[in-house]
Amino acid sequence: MILKKLTEQPKSYILLLTAIIGFVIFLLINQLIFAPLTQAVPTYGILDFEFAWVPEQVLIIFSVWGPSGMEAQAFGIYWDFLYIVGYGIFIFSCILLVSRGLDGRFQSFGLWMSLTPLISGIFDVIENINLLILINTAPTLPSFAPFIASLSACIKFGLLILGIIYFFIGLVLFITKWFKKKNKLN
């Protein structure tokens, strides 16, 4: 099975390095790009836009944002493409590192779960493309774009939540296994 190769490749030190790089990208974009955007466009945030679902709601958001707010949010969406890489490799690496420390079904399940942030990233790209379509076609919005963006956001967040839940459960199992092994040696 192809996923079984993830138990050995890439090497753990490479995974740790990618986790650190991903976390730094994640953190920097949050602090330098996304945090100032919340100040620039305080009324409706990007999550309101992602979950607008229908053109009428998008138009309400755009009327509050105005042209400068729409431009600012488009800027943030472009940065989100790099953000996807950051959170994707960070969460992927963390899940895979924990999975490698487990056995049997928990490890096999973890190998599958390590794919959740990568698949989530695909849905985030679909979401971003549709959000940019909406910003660039206002005020005559295509009716499909808000729905696709919102559906993609739901799938994205759902997959990320599943992956993160697995990580924390796997981490507890890994630590428990480590303590049991350590106690047997003493």
Residues 7-60: pLDDT tens digits?
888 899 999 999 999 999 999 999 999 999 988 887 899 999 999 999 999 999
pTM (two decimals): 0.93
DSSP 8-state assignment for residue 141: -
Among 50, 79, 31, which Cα is nearest to 146's? Answer: 50
Tell me the residue type at 76. G
For the chain, domain boundaries: 7-185
Residues 118-153: pLDDT tens digits?
999 999 999 999 999 999 999 999 999 999 999 999
Strand positions, DSSP E, 81-178 = none
Q: Report how far residue 29's alpha carbon sits from residue 86's, in angstroms, rounded to the nearest whole number.
A: 9
